Amino acid sequence: MKGKKSTVRHTVPAALCPRDAAGQRKPLLPLNVINLRPGSNGTLVPVGENIRHEGFGASTPLLMLRSEGREVIAAASGSDLIYGKTDAGAGTDVEPDFFGSQPLCAIPVSSDAGVVMCTDGAVQLSMQPDGTLATSSLARSYAPIGMVAVESSPISTTVAARTLSRNYDGASRLSASDTAAVSADLVDAYRRLTSTAGAAGLAIQPALARYRLIDNEGRCVFTSAPVLLSLPSGSQCADTVGITSSDRRTLDPYTLSARTWALQLSLPAADTKAGISRADIYLSPLFHPYVPVAAADITTSRASSSDAPFIYAGLPGRERSLGNNFNGHARRLLASAIARLDSIEQRVAVVNEPFSGPQRTVKADIAFNCDCVAEAKSLTAALAAPAQKYDRMSVVFAPPHTFTARCAASDAATVLWANLTARHFPGYPLAGRAATFGESALWRGTTRIRFASGGSVVLSESHISPVPLTFNPLLYYPLPDAVEISISVSTAGTVRSATFTLTPDESGRGAVFAEGCAPFALTGSEAVDTTQTDSRESYPDAVAVAATSDPLHIDSIMRLGSGPVAAVIARGATDQAWEFGRSRFIVGAAAGIYSLGVGTGRTALSSRRLSAAPVTRADALCRGEGGEAFALSAAGSATIPLHIRPNGSVSTFAPSGPYLAAAFDSLRGELWLLRSDSSADIFCLHHDGAFYRRTGIAATGARMLGDQAFACTPVGLISLGQEQAKDIAVGINCLYTPRTLDPVTPLAIEFAAVAVRFKGSMTLESADAGAGGRTCPVVRASIGGALLSPIRLRTATRPARRFRFGFEGTVSPDFTYSHCNISYRQ
Look over the chain and give the mean of its residue pLDDT values, rounded to a whole number.
Answer: 87
298-317 pLDDT, tens digit per residue, is: 998 877 666 789 999 999 98
Query: How confident is the model over 345-355, as pLDDT tens digits?
Result: 999 999 999 99
In this predicted structure, what is the pLDDT of residue 15? 38
**pLDDT of 512 above 50:** yes
Contact 144, 224 (CB under 8 A): yes
Contacts 24+ apart (CB under 8 A), 85-90: 85/131, 86/53, 86/719, 86/722, 88/51, 88/52, 88/722, 88/724, 90/53, 90/55
Average pLDDT over residues 742-748: 80
Mean pLDDT to the nearest integer, 770-798: 78
Per-residue DSSP letters for 97-155? TSSSS-EEEEEEEETTEEEEEETTEEEEEEE-TTS-EEEEESS---PPPEEEEEE---E
Over residues 212-217, the mean pLDDT reads 92
The answer on pLDDT for 26 being more than 60 is no
Angle, helices 327-339/372-384, rounded to nearest 10 degrees: 80
**What pLDDT, on the 0 to 100 scale, is given for residue 401?**
93
Whose CA is closest to 667, among 48, 20, 27, 17?
Answer: 48
Across 714-813, the runs of DSSP E, i.e. the strands, are 716-724, 728-736, 745-767, 775-787, 791-794, 803-811
Among 323-337, 567-581, 670-684, name the most confident range: 670-684
Sign of the four-CA dihedral 353, 359, 364, 365: negative
Q: Is the dihedral of CA 661, 666, 671, 672 positive or negative?
A: negative
Give the residue with greater pLDDT, 563 vs 116. Answer: 116
Give the per-residue pLDDT at 17: 41
- Contacts of residue 494, defined as CB under 8 A and 6 or more positions apart, other chains included, come to none
Residue 576 pLDDT greater than 50, yes or no: no
Examine residue 400 and say whether the peptide bond preceding it is cis (omega within 30 degrees of 0): yes
State yes or no: pLDDT of 742 exceeds 90.
no
pLDDT of 772 strictly over 60: no
Query: In angstroms, rounded to a whole number, what is the distance separating the alpha carbons of residues 380 and 389?
Result: 19
Rounded Cα–Cα distance for residues 127 and 112 (Å) = 5
Distance CA 583, CA 540 (A): 22
Window from 111-125, 244-258, 758-772 with minimum mean pLDDT = 758-772
Q: What angle do helix axes 372-384 and 176-199 make, rounded to 10 degrees?
A: 100
pLDDT at residue number 575? 44
Range of lowest pLDDT (9-23, 163-177, 191-205, 695-709): 9-23
Mean pLDDT of 445-449: 95
End-to-end CA distance of the chain: 8
In the prediction, which pLDDT does 1 show?
38
In the chain, the amino acid numbered 686 is: H
Contact 614, 633 (CB under 8 A): yes
Pairwise CA distance, residues 443 & 467, whole Å? 6
CA–CA dist 548, 295 (Å, integer): 55
Amino acid 569: pLDDT: 94
pTM, two decimals, is: 0.86
Q: What confidence category does residue 774 fall into, taking pLDDT thresholds of 50, 70 and 90?
A: low
Confidence of residue 7 (pLDDT cuts 50, 70, 90): low
Around Cβ 812, how many Cβ atoms within 10 Å?
17
In whole angstroms, what separates CA 57 from the centre of its chain? Answer: 30
Q: Which residues contact 107 (CB under 8 A, 6 or more apart)?
A: 114, 115, 408, 409, 410, 415, 548, 551
* Per-residue pLDDT, 777: 76
Tell me which residue of 726, 724, 739, 732 sits closest to 753, measured CA to CA: 732
Does residue 323 have a pLDDT over 90?
no
Q: Closest by alpha carbon to 122, among 142, 104, 109?
A: 104
- Whether 249 and 243 have beta carbons less than 8 Å apart is answered as no
pLDDT at 326: 60
The secondary element (H helix, E strand) that includes residue 341 is: helix 341-344
Tell me the mean pLDDT in the region 435-452: 93
pLDDT band of 581, cuts 50, 70, 90: low
Closest C-alpha to 683, from 626, 741, 645, 643: 643
